[in-house]
Structure 1
Amino acid sequence: MTPHQIALIRDSFEPLKPLAAAVAEAFYAQLFARDPALRALFRGGDMAEQGGRLMQMLAAAIDLLDRPAALNPVLLRLGQRHVGYGVVDTHYDAVGAALLDTLAAGLGASFTPVVREAWTTMYGHVVRTMQQGAAQPAMAA
């Protein structure tokens, strides 16, 4: 990611912070509309609490975008944990699409093609790194 892309992501995320609960709720509505089967991965979970964790994770990742040596180990561990939740590679596509749709709805006209590209680049890095983490337990076995 370029410094410009990192700045675009940080700047576009800032107005969403005070709306974190609504943004998370919109994200999960998008996600479950896109792939209703994913709802089963959240069995028994409090979705408001889950949404809070999602927004905290996004904020933490965004804070570390310019420090990949700190970000990547976190993403690797997150990928390992998600295997235990039943997450498979195909789920990441639905999550990415729901994230971009949620950002587009929440940011409106400020979600320009350049901002969308920055978020897409970030999400691609997150997914690749999480998938590497998810593969590590299989490689060690």
Structure 2
Amino acid sequence: MTPHQVKLVQDSFAKVAPIAPQAATLFYDRLFEIAPQVKPMFKGDLDEQKRKLMSILAVVVNGLDKLDTVLPAASMLAKKHVSYGVEAAHYQPVGGALLWTLERGLGEGWTGEVADAWTEAYTTLSGFMISEAYPQTKAAE
């Protein structure tokens, strides 16, 4: 990611952060709509999961300019998600739900440039997490 893309992601996330509870609800509603097969993986308190999502997003977004500090935690998170039944294929609908949520949360602030920056950020991070959690997937490519 370029420094400009990092700034776009960070600035746009700062605009969504004040509506974090609503954004998290939008995200999970959309995720369960486009990937209903993942809903049974969420056995605990969904409100707590929503808080965790927004908290983790904040850490990652704020660490984009120093990825080396974020990647170890992302690796652990990816490996932990395997035990919940998460598969590499699930990252695609999660990304779709995230981008959809951001588009709604940002309204007119969701420009093509912002969308491209978020897509790059998600693609970079999810690709890393998939390679960490499913190393055989990377070897098969």
TM interval, shorter chain, is over 0.9
Q: Which residue of 2 aligns with 1:126?
A: 125
The answer to whether residue 31 in structure 2 is matched with residue 31 in structure 1 is yes
The answer to whether residue 58 in structure 2 is matched with residue 59 in structure 1 is yes
5 Å matches for 1:2-17? 2-17=2-17
Q: Is the 8 A contact 1:21 1:51 kept in 2?
A: yes
**What is the root-mean-square deviation of aligned Cα atoms in Å?**
1.4
Detail structure 1 runs of 4+ shifted over 4 Å in the superposition: none
Percentage identity across paired residues of the two chains = 40
- With normalisation by structure 1, the TM-score equals 0.93
Q: Is the 8 A contact 2:88 2:134 kept in 1?
A: no
Give secondary structure in 2 for the equivalent of 1:85.
coil
- With normalisation by structure 2, the TM-score equals 0.93
5 Å matches for 1:1-141? 1-43=1-43, 45-135=44-134
Give secondary structure in 1 for the equivalent of 2:65.
coil
Structure 1 gaps, min length 5: none
1: CA distance, partners of 2:125 / 2:94: 11
**1:57-78 C-alpha deviation (Å, 9 max, x unpaired):** 0000011101121111111111
Q: Is the 8 A contact 1:79 1:129 kept in 2?
A: no
Q: Is the 8 A contact 1:80 1:136 kept in 2?
A: no
2: CA distance, partners of 1:6 / 1:15: 15
